Amino acid sequence: MSVETKAPESMFAYVVVAARRARQLMAGAPPLIENPRTLKNTRIATDELDMGLLEYELPAKAEEEEGKAKK
């Protein structure tokens, strides 16, 4: 797995990463943006993702294929 900081190209991956960050914010994690333009956790999460402030991991291609075969 590789650590990424730019927004994922896949819309599904983008939504998953943003949703996980929004849950962290709801649980009390501080925003990575100094002056968020809104208080909505989902908007703060997407802004952080668009700015490249979040680190996340995507599974490698081999792991993706392996996961599909198990279903």
At 27, which CATH number?
Answer: 3.90.940
CA neighbours closer than 13 Å in the CB half-sphere of residue 9: 0
Q: For the whole model, what pTM was predicted?
A: 0.75
Q: What's the number of domains the chain is made of?
A: 1
pLDDT over 80 (residue 2):
no
CA distance 21 to 27: 10
46-60: average pLDDT? 90
- Find the domain containing 63 and state its range: 2-70
Per-residue pLDDT of 4-29, as tens digits, reads 778 788 899 999 999 999 999 999 99
